[in-house]
Chains A and B, each alone.
Chain A
């Protein structure tokens, strides 16, 4: 790792190659959902509509970026024996904050997300990144890693939400997308898409497409 030694002597630019990778890798080859298959429970639950998906995505980006940053700032002082508890406390506090803010400013959405905002706490991606990255890295790279992974989660969430809302309700963000003419000719919304199992299948299809494009992700074992 020549880059790490360099960074000690001369100041690393904010968006160096390595830092850019922290942001871009989780979007593609290190995607938490399609490659690591973490955090898919919430993908199943809240992707019926684009709106809930988007709010959930933003919430997770906010929680994950800040959690990674805070843990990285504290990393030298955290007693190793209680580090998991410290991580959980930080995540839980941030999630409660997000929940309170949603309740105050976008009440409708917060009612639809109901328990799932609270369940961000148990989103394995977040704790995974804190353990694997933020505890051993400087604040800025940790922040980028958090944002990157959350964005990797977010795009899958939005993609699933896009197909489920379009095919299930014929709308996007609540606006009708399928012209009325289609319905007059007998087109019907696929009620199946509204049910959670279809999210699983949609995620499966996304994983399939992803792997067929990135052959090196395919297990050869």
Chain B
């Protein structure tokens, strides 16, 4: 078999494989995107402690999440669909140019504000949603996920036990200054409303969550201020 044959064979193979794979990807794209939307809805609902099975996520989301908004760092409302904003892209922009999504939910007459977060863990991105009560100080719930943190260590931020520490914590202190929740290495003081226990062996991921909460919530301050005074 000549070199020429080998080259032609390899090129033809690559072209055929590329065709097959790209057509499969194009065909399955709509289904996959729907799955991702549903997962996002589940995560948003989880941040206000509403468990949503896959099949019901869309109905529950429509029932509870009444308003979605995009705001900027000055708290001004912008045009657009908050659900479609990719935080990954927004975080690369200057703070003043960022589009910040807010999801407002109403559950049994109580209003909740849910904001998305995105940051970096040890190996890759981490993200999550924080639900705030209507005072915009107290956390109602939090939901985190990650791309590739170490199972059993950093990956535990996605576990209920870690997330259950957040409800009741506060992101502003008594004087009204911004003071986000920090994930403390070891044990946090039980009466400290601005700290939760870290994950042993997952310090870098824990710090990632701390930074994500700080940077992610900081930009909403003006918006929260506006809502509180109005």
Contact = CB atoms under 8 A, between A and B. Distances in A.
A85 interface: yes
Given A81-B1, A93-B21, A97-B24, A104 B35 contact: yes
B6 A100 contact: no
Contact of B9 (A79, A107, A111, A115): A79
A177 interface: no
Contacts of A21: none
Contacts of B24: 96-97, 100-101
B54 A108 contact: yes
A82 B24 CA distance: 26
B128 to A, nearest CB: 16
A85 B17 CA distance: 13
A89 B152 CA distance: 33
A86 B13 CA distance: 8
A93 B54 contact: no
Interface residues of B, number: 22
A115 B123 CA distance: 14
A18 interface: no
Interface string A86-120: 10011001001100110111011001000100000
A80 interface: yes
B28 A104 contact: yes
Given A81-B1, A104-B35, A107-B35, A89 B21 contact: no
B25 interface: yes
Given A89-B17, A93-B21, A107-B39, A100 B10 contact: no
A77 interface: yes
Contacts of A79: 1, 5-6, 9
A100 B31 CA distance: 10
Contacts of A107: 32, 35-36, 38-39, 54
10 contacts: A82-B9, A86-B13, A93-B21, A96-B24, A100-B32, A107-B32, A107-B36, A107-B39, A115-B148, A195-B152
Interface of B: 1, 5-6, 9-10, 13-14, 17, 20-21, 24-25, 28, 31-32, 35-36, 38-39, 54, 148, 152
**5 nearest A-B residue pairs (beta carbon):** A107-B35, A104-B31, A104-B28, A79-B6, A93-B17
